[in-house]
Amino acid sequence: MTVIDANRMNEIEARYPEYFHRSFRQRFGGLMILIATLLYSLYAVWFFDLPKLFAEAHWERVGIYLSQWVSYDVQPEFRIEDDGSIDIRYPRFSPLGDNPHPDWLVNNPDGSITVSISGTSRTVTVSKSQTVVTAHGISVPVNVSSGAPKVVGPVPDWMTVYDDNVLADLGFAGNVSISVDRVKIRKRFIGWANFIFDTQSSFFDKPVGEVVGLIVSGPRIKPDQSNLSLAFDDIWNNSEWQHGDVWTKLFQTIVMAFLGTLLGSLTAFPLAFLAARNITPNRLLNQILKRFFDFLRSVDMLIWALFLTRAFGPGPLAGSGAIFLTETGTLGKLYSEGLENIDNKPREGIKSTGAQPVLVQRYGIMPQIVPVIVSQTLYQWESNVRGATIIGAVGAGGIGLKLWEAMRTNANWENVAYMVILILIVVFIFDAASNALRHRLMGTKTH
């Protein structure tokens, strides 16, 4: 074992003071950050009252909304007439069309009607005096011949009895509401109803093979229009899904993002040269332009959209203007900071040859700043596709307004899912395209 004497120890301490004479911040900085983070977290819990928030949140709505994103329901209503007959009615604009005959509804010989909610495990049999709900391995009769519906026997936990009706919750499959003179059933299906052809289309409810045969070689449904053109019109003008309007609004969103970013970059580029201290040695002009950039980007794009919709009315013009103003401030700041961080040696070298100022900027500055400009502009363009969706909700045009209208009804969540998926696809495509273009222009390879 090597023994280090006092002189050797003092020499080592003098040589490496950062290890032997650490400051208070160096010794306890990590611990202090951890304690500060913990204290801030406790303060956030108190400030936002998170326990109460989580306790009172409607968590059940999450499952309801998610189920409505991927499914639809049909709501037949069975009205028991005075003569004992049962009249079947469907809501207006039912997914089954104007004259439905579903195979999951069976008329029994005794006059009752059996509805299959989920195969044979969950069924409802409606008769003039009694409704029998079968679920979870048991059958529960509900008498409807007296003044109020009455459950025969013990009431299961999935059934709730009210004064004038009985509600049976059958989970994701649907539910049943039973009253004295009517039984209303909600039956749920996975998928999006009538996504291709709506109930008014000539191709509605036809098998795929028959539709393809009609389009390829079948007789014309309308003498003055080919079946292919008719099918396209029916899809594009689908009254339930509104494909034509949705895709038009999506294209408006893309155009808004592109036009706003393009105009913002073209405006910010020359202004950035005037704002950069090492390019334009005028402190007053530098500060005025930098504060101008700060003003434009400090006002959120959503606020600009509100101002412009009041000035020009709702539409994509207001959305493009909001993106243009925001991007002028953001890109102007990024461009000017990039110019201030360039290496001045190439610029000075070209200037020493007596070259014109334009050539000095072209060959001394542009090769250094182009990668920054390309990278930041493409990123902002990609980001503005998402931003254009948000500002559309306040009337600035595009698919954002369409999305907000669908959400506001609180009933068309499958339409909301459709538009959200379209927006995600567009964002993914633009992300991949901007990355590929950025690497191509900058001469790098993607991995």
**The pLDDT value given to residue 281:** 84
Percent of the chain scoring above 70 in pLDDT: 94
Quick check: 18 pLDDT over 70? no
Q: For 96-125, what is the mean pLDDT?
A: 89
* Nearest-angstrom CA–CA distance, 192 and 368: 52
Q: Is residue 196 part of a domain?
A: no
Contact indicator for 318, 309 with CB cutoff of 8 Å: yes
Contact indicator for 441, 376 with CB cutoff of 8 Å: no
Which has the higher per-residue pLDDT, 60 or 96?
96
**The pLDDT value given to residue 166:** 93
Q: Is residue 343 part of a domain?
A: yes
* Nearest-angstrom CA–CA distance, 313 and 256: 15
Q: Is residue 158 part of a domain?
A: yes
Which has the higher per-residue pLDDT, 431 or 15?
431
Q: Is residue 203 part of a domain?
A: no
Which has the higher per-residue pLDDT, 61 or 196?
196
Q: How many other C-beta atoms can be found within 10 angstroms of the C-beta atom of residue 121?
A: 13
**Domain around 345:** 243-442
Quick check: 98 pLDDT over 90? no
Do 279 and 180 lie in one domain? The reply is: no
Do 252 and 178 lie in one domain? The reply is: no
Do 256 and 339 lie in one domain? The reply is: yes
Do 264 and 362 lie in one domain? The reply is: yes
Quick check: 446 pLDDT over 60? no
Do 271 and 186 lie in one domain? The reply is: no
**The pLDDT value given to residue 147:** 77
Lowest-confidence range among 155-164, 230-239, 364-373, 424-433?
364-373
Q: Is 49 left (phi over 0), alpha (psi -120 to 50) or beta?
A: left
Contacts of 141 (CB under 8 A, 6+ apart): 130, 131, 132, 151, 152, 153
Do 323 and 184 lie in one domain? The reply is: no
Do 297 and 400 lie in one domain? The reply is: yes
**Which residue in 386, 243, 248 sits closest to 323, CA to CA?**
386
Q: For 137-159, what is the mean pLDDT?
A: 89
**The pLDDT value given to residue 2:** 60
Do 173 and 255 lie in one domain? The reply is: no
Do 260 and 389 lie in one domain? The reply is: yes
Quick check: 158 pLDDT over 80? yes
Quick check: 431 pLDDT over 90? no
Which has the higher per-residue pLDDT, 351 or 401?
401
CATH number of the domain to which 263 belongs? 1.10.3720.10
Do 372 and 437 lie in one domain? The reply is: yes
Q: Is residue 182 part of a domain?
A: yes
**The pLDDT value given to residue 355:** 75
Q: For 355-370, what is the mean pLDDT?
A: 77
**The pLDDT value given to residue 248:** 92
Q: For 40-47, what is the mean pLDDT?
A: 92
**The pLDDT value given to residue 41:** 93
**The pLDDT value given to residue 116:** 93
Q: How confident is the model at residue 1 (pLDDT cuts 50, 70, 90)?
A: low
Quick check: 99 pLDDT over 90? no
**Total domain count, the chain:** 2
Task: Choose one of 190, 205, 221: the last residue of a domain.
Answer: 190
Winning range, highest mean pLDDT, from 141-150, 259-268, 345-354, 369-378: 259-268
Quick check: 429 pLDDT over 70? yes
Do 184 and 248 lie in one domain? The reply is: no
Q: Is residue 348 part of a domain?
A: yes
pLDDT in tens, 267-293: 999 999 899 888 888 889 999 999 999
Winning range, highest mean pLDDT, from 20-29, 266-275, 355-364, 389-398: 266-275
Q: How confident is the model at residue 117 (pLDDT cuts 50, 70, 90)?
A: very high
Q: Is residue 217 part of a domain?
A: no
pLDDT in tens, 256-270: 999 999 999 999 999
Quick check: 445 pLDDT over 60? no
Pull the structure tokens for residue 433: 């395209």
Do 124 and 265 lie in one domain? The reply is: no
Tell how far CA 36 is from the center of its chain.
35
Lowest-confidence range among 69-78, 283-292, 345-354?
345-354
Q: Is residue 44 part of a domain?
A: no
